[in-house]
Amino acid sequence: MSVVHLVASRPEFVWELRTSAGPVGHAEALDGESVWITRIIVQPSHRGHGYASLLLHAVLDYFPDTVVGLAACPLPTPEPGLDREELRAWYTHHGFVSAPLSNDPDRMLRPPTP
C-alpha cells in the first residue's frame, strides 16, 4: 500500500492511495493563503482500515508549516460515510479545531506543527 502524490501544481494538490488491488482513495487540497482540503474519499469497500487517516496525514505532512482548513461536512455520495458529528470528531482527533464562520459553520482548522 502506498500514498502517491499525483499533482503538485499550485494551487491544486492530489494524493492517491493505492493497494495491490489498485487505487482505493484520494485526497485533494488547494493551496492559497492557507491550505484547504477539498475532499478525502475512500471507496466504500475499503473503509474502516485507516485509509482516510493515511490520506489526511499525507496532506498534513506535505504542509507542516501551514494552517490547513476544511469543511467538516459529508459529501453527497451514493454510499454515505461519516455523518457531520462523526466527521467533526474524526478531524478533532487529528488535531483540527472548530473555527466556524457565519457563512461556513462546518469550518475547522489545523494549526501549523511547531
Question: Is the confidence at residue 9, as pLDDT, over 90?
Answer: no
74 upstream amide cis, omega within 30 of 0: no
Q: Quick check: 74 and 32 in contact, CB under 8 A?
A: no
Cell numbers at 63, concatenated: 504542509
**Residue tagged 501549523 (cell numbers):** 112
Bridge partners, residue 94, by sequence: none
Report which secondary-structure segment, H or E, holds 37: strand 35-42
Put simply, whether the predicted model's pTM sits higher than 0.75 gets the answer: yes
DSSP state, residue 63:
S
Confidence of residue 3 (pLDDT cuts 50, 70, 90): confident
Instruction: Look at residue 54 in the predicted model and tell me its pLDDT.
Output: 95
Domains parsed from the chain with CATH numbers: 2-110 (3.40.630.30)
* Cβ atoms of residues 82 and 74 within 8 Å: yes
Mean pLDDT throughout 5-32?
Answer: 88
Q: What's the pLDDT tens digit per position in 83-94?
A: 899 999 999 999
